[in-house]
């Protein structure tokens, strides 16, 4: 379980870092669209990880 928690923390960190990158480099409208898609992608990835737990 500790290993899974570590993986989950990495996924969340990557997501936050990516959103920060978008926030710096892309206008607000594109940021909102891309971040919403990215958020759903991360949720799907986390759901897949739970299935293999």
Q: In terms of C-beta density within 10 A (0-12 exposed, 13-18 middle, 19 or more buried), how is residue 17 classed? A: exposed
Residues of the domain holding 41: 2-51
What pLDDT is recorded for position 39? 83
| pTM (whole model) above 0.85 | no
Instruction: Report the pLDDT averaged over residues 25-47.
Output: 74
Nearby residues of 51 by Cβ (< 8 Å), 6 or more positions away: none
Residue 43, pLDDT > 80, answer yes
Chain centre distance of CA 6: 14
What pLDDT is recorded for position 18? 80
Which pLDDT tens digit goes with each residue over 18-32?
A: 877 766 666 666 666
Instruction: Report the pLDDT averaged over residues 31-52.
Output: 77
Total tally of structural domains belonging to the chain: 1
């Amino acid at each position: 379980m500790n290993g899974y928690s570590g993986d989950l923390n990495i996924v969340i960190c990557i997501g936050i870092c990516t959103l920060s990158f978008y926030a710096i480099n892309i206008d607000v409208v594109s940021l909102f669209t891309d971040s919403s898609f990215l958020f759903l992608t991360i949720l799907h990835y986390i759901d897949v990880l739970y299935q293999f737990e």
